[in-house]
Structure 1
Amino acid sequence: MMSSPAPTNANSYSNSEQEIWGALLKEACRLKTCEPKLAGFIDRSILDFGCFQHALRAQLVARFSGDTLPPLQLSEIVDEAHRLDSRLVQAGAADLMAYRSRNAAFGNYLSPFLYFKGFHALQAQRISNHLWEHAQRDLAVHLYDRICQVSGTDIHPAVKFGKGIFIDHAIGLVIGETAVVEDDVSLLHNVTLGATGNDRGDRHPKIRRGAIVGAGAIILGNIDIGYGARVGAGSVVIKSVTPYTTVVGTPAKPVRRDLASRAECSSGADHDQFDWVIY
């Protein structure tokens, strides 16, 4: 078993991290009892570690290390990133909470933590983004390539993610360099956040807090998908979507705006600028 150094700022772990770690331990012990054949795997993945941070590191090393990025080397990269920016671990905990609350198929912490490629790809992309932002871009691109190979996703290392992100199934997800995905966003498989091909610079979509993008949706250009908006499966979106609006089709058109969500809009914008009607 790889040795585990003391966790970064162990006494400052957020309540959510402590809650999730406690829940993971309980679920792991329960699974170990129910499925003795998985006991060794559960020990190596959860029970051999003393905190969420180190168990998360172990998952990333198990999934994304390889001949060109050996386990010990990747472990050191992840540890350094977590040490320099504790928000990476906090975001991972928030992401896991999102999986538990929004995934109707499982509804626990353990399954996404152990098995879901969307969760793993997102946590590894957070490390590649950290490297990108700290002038280690060749290493960031190398890790990005490993993520692509293993998870079937293609997320540029420069992409900025918020926390509480839910990426369901993940296969075929493509997100371009200047895209931004804010807190509490849900993305399904085969989603593309791309450019039109006719622009330079800041050229990719901005997915605002609480938005949901359905399977196979294609969103192109430097446009906003507003707070709480929904993009229907298979839609092609080339114009900005106002907050709490549902769009569907090719090209996508609004089909409704959610009156009930008007009070929840906390973007700081003037709520009256939006036409809050159902259509």
Structure 2
Amino acid sequence: MKNSAKIIMLFFLSIIATACKKEEKSPSYHKGEMTILTDESFKSVTEALAEGYMINYPETKIKVVTKKEDLGFLDLLKDKAKIIVMSRDLSAEEIKSYEEQVDLKFLPAKFAADAVIFVVPKDSPRESISIEEITQGMQSDDKAFIFDGANSSNLNFIAQKLKKQPKELKFSIIPGSKNVIEDLNKYPGKIGVIGLNTFSRPYDKESEKLKSMVKILPVEYKGKQYTADAGNLRTMNYPFTRVLYFLTNEGNFNLANGFIRYSCTQLGQMIVEKEGLQPYNIYRREVQMR
């Protein structure tokens, strides 16, 4: 009788142990480690969202790694990354590759409106730039436009807007957006092309320092000039407004999808706004007067 009781007890303990092991391996959005790949141009907002998520879920550890947009996309397809940040539109062929290799429907999680901006040194006489000047300049042997690198999100986005392939355009390179800003005055007549999020964070000392070194050029389009401010990002009137979105290969509700949900809901969108960017999902605030 005692032996039978022991056998029954061991049987139940084995069931509990197995259940615990399964529970440990089950998907969880509130604990675990993850790496996010992002282009340098929107590293700041990605890091801010990651910090916010880790504060809300202390058992999570999120590392933000900078990688050129196209290379990050390839890593996602090869399952070398679980989540990436993108800004350009994928081609029909790229969407097909994503859906076939990842085995998920292409559903970009849009979370912010950013912009590609054109900057010159503070003492430059130039006050604006037109779409025509950009189009012509990107096909000129003068290579007047300086980008932060080949395969960068800024170059990809400009090429897409001009309906060209990056290899068809002519440009100069200074690696890194910060270096573009700091070294721009060494190249008279050149125009830097960077992402707004490089220095959009208000009250941040480094952002303010970088922003003070250059003049942001309004873009002239159809006889009107547009600045990359919140209003023009919201309406997308600024010609080089771009929408940032997350892409994942995670099929269940684990850390990547938990982070995406957080970023697209009110808490995450407040962080986007504090970064000086335009939240993609706008939440109306209701106030009751008594």
Q: TM-score range by the shorter chain?
A: under 0.3
Q: Normalising by the residue count of structure 1, what TM-score does the alignment of the two structures yield?
A: 0.23
**TM-score, length-scaled by structure 2:** 0.23
Give the greater-gyration-radius structure (CA).
Answer: 2
More strand by share: 2
